[in-house]
Amino acid sequence: DVTDELGPQKNPKKGKIGYTIHLDSLFTLDSVAYVNFPAPIQALIDSTSEASLIKSQSPFSINCLDAERSRISTLLRNNGYYYYSPSCASYLADTFAVDNKTQLRFQLANGIPDGALHKWYIGKLDVNLRKSAREVLTDSVQRRYLTIHFNGKKSPIMPRVVLRNMRLRPRQEFSYEKYQESASKINATGVFSSTDFQFTPRTDSDTLDLRLNCTFDK
């Protein structure tokens, strides 16, 4: 309930208004359950239960619900689930079973594509080295899972320079954290004016091929 009161001022053209707010009972979380997730994802969520941002007896907070959904998404994307996103899960809240308490279920949403529910692994790595965005590359050098495309008789930089700053490795599971670290380290070299990571899934497999487009700084 909110009530207001007008207060007189010396200037008749001005006024002061005060609001009094009477809060209702605080809703808290009676119970929290994570349900309907495939067994490997459920095990991963359970292993980080201590880091959960929604716990029994804590206040019912929309901000905490959103933050927990983002935490789970980041957790899964750092452990191979490339296509998982916060929208893949939703909340179901029962506020009637217990007075002033909420029984909360964090559950997998309906209609999630299969690609979001299994791990993805890095496949081959292609690196394009250009002096300008429109340059056509005609030469390449290959080292097992790594292929560097360029113009000229030899690569402008050695393959190990790229690999030294690349945290995503072929045949390892995708990690969003390692992707961000790789982009940060490559950009920090000061060699390139722009970089672009492109992940392409292979048909009927759990492999993501990575293409890294690099444009040299003038």
Q: For residue range 139-164, what is the model confidence (pLDDT) as tens digits?
A: 998 888 889 999 988 888 887 877 88
In percent, the amount of the chain with pLDDT more than 70 equals 100
State the Cα–Cα distance between residues 186 and 177, nearest whole angstrom: 14
d(CA 140, CA 152): 9
Band (pLDDT 50/70/90 cuts) for residue 90 is very high
Neighbouring CB atoms inside 10 A of 130's CB total: 19
The whole-chain average pLDDT of the chain stands at 93
Separation of alpha carbons 218 and 216, rounded Å: 6
